[in-house]
Amino acid sequence: MSVATDPAARPRKPSRARVVLGELLRRPRAAFGLIIIALMVFAAVFAPWIMPQDPFAQSFDGLDLMGAPLPPGGDYLLGTDLLGRDLASRLILGTRTSLIIGVVANGIAVLLGAGVGITAGYFGGWTAAILMRFTDLMMAFPALLLAIVLAAIFQPSLMIVALVIAMVNWVQMSRVIYTETRSLAEREFIQVQRAIGSGPIRILFKHLLPHLLSSIIVFGTLGISTTVLLEATLSYLGVGVQPPMPSWGNIIFENQTYFSTAPWLVFFPGLLIVLLALGFNLVGDALRDILDPTLKGRH
């Protein structure tokens, strides 16, 4: 039970991450997921350079003589939307929206969920009773309804949408972490730390957090997928990301009245939403197999 000093801990850390990455790449499904995520991140970061057209420009060339949107092909790779804007460019910029919300909203949800779970699990007693009753209450809330009401109350901006999603999504993480922390807190190595008078902060960061990291990573990854889907749904209902800022959900929202004559306006954004959520689900699922030794050999 020696406390690892920094120089000793250093060389192990990157090798552990590399081992996990290697394991991921060896599994075809997880590797496919990683490729999707990598491509999306690339598109989001380099959006201004790879967008073929201005995503906000409403050009007359973008509509046919009847004023209808153009199908894929020709000057516009994936066609145009109802306002004659280039769909491909809007989708690429929409990648940014999805990933920013995915990372920010899920980041907040992870911090909040893990924080509540650890606090309740470590201190137990009244703290746990109050926090976990509150979690139960949030579990019984119809999540989408709550998100819509919250989004309608506050004027939806990118930050507000992220916060609303975080408020809905932290619950599951907090329950998982609570259960794990509670069983860890009973274990001898934590009891020893308590007995020798280590403060809660020290126990938390030095001894509890390393054991909880696997679950946080797994549920954090799966949570991004939930977040991406919720953002798309809110934007589709018109209470999420607001036009003209493109999001895959609001592209479908803006164009759905035309879906029978211009199905590409629903098909391409829909495909991207599914792919991004699929990428994080595949990687998260593989991470669970790799990081959770109790599940090994069951599949």
Q: Count helices and strands (H / E) in the chain.
A: 13, 0
3-state helix, strand, coil in the chain (%, to 5): 75, 0, 25
Tell me: does residue 35 bind another protein (CB under 8 A): no
- CB-wise, 16 or 298, nearer to another protein? 298
- Which of 73, 74, 142, 244 is close enough to bind another protein by CB under 8 A? 142
Distances (CA, A) of 41 to 44, 47, 94, 102, 193: 5, 10, 12, 11, 42
CB of 79 to another protein, least distance (A): 15
H-helix or E-strand spanning residue 178: helix 158-186
Tell me: does residue 288 bind another protein (CB under 8 A): no
End-to-end CA distance of the chain: 34
Distances (CA, A) of 134 to 118, 119, 165, 175, 176: 15, 13, 17, 11, 15
CB of 11 to another protein, least distance (A): 36
Tell me: does residue 139 bind another protein (CB under 8 A): yes
- CB-wise, 52 or 142, nearer to another protein? 142
Return the beta strands (E) in 94-219 as ranges.
none
- Which of 101, 114, 118, 277 is close enough to bind another protein by CB under 8 A? 277
Per CB under 8 A, which of residues 64..103 are in contact with another protein? none
CB of 245 to another protein, least distance (A): 19
Per CB under 8 A, which of residues 180..239 are in contact with another protein? 225, 229, 232-233, 236-237, 239
Closest of 61, 76, 240, 94 to residue 162, by C-alpha:
240
CB of 299 to another protein, least distance (A): 7
Question: Which residues bind to another protein, rule: CB under 8 A?
Answer: 29, 133, 136-137, 139-146, 148-150, 152-153, 225, 229, 232-233, 236-237, 239, 249, 252, 256, 259-260, 263, 266-267, 270, 273-274, 277-278, 281-282, 285, 298-299
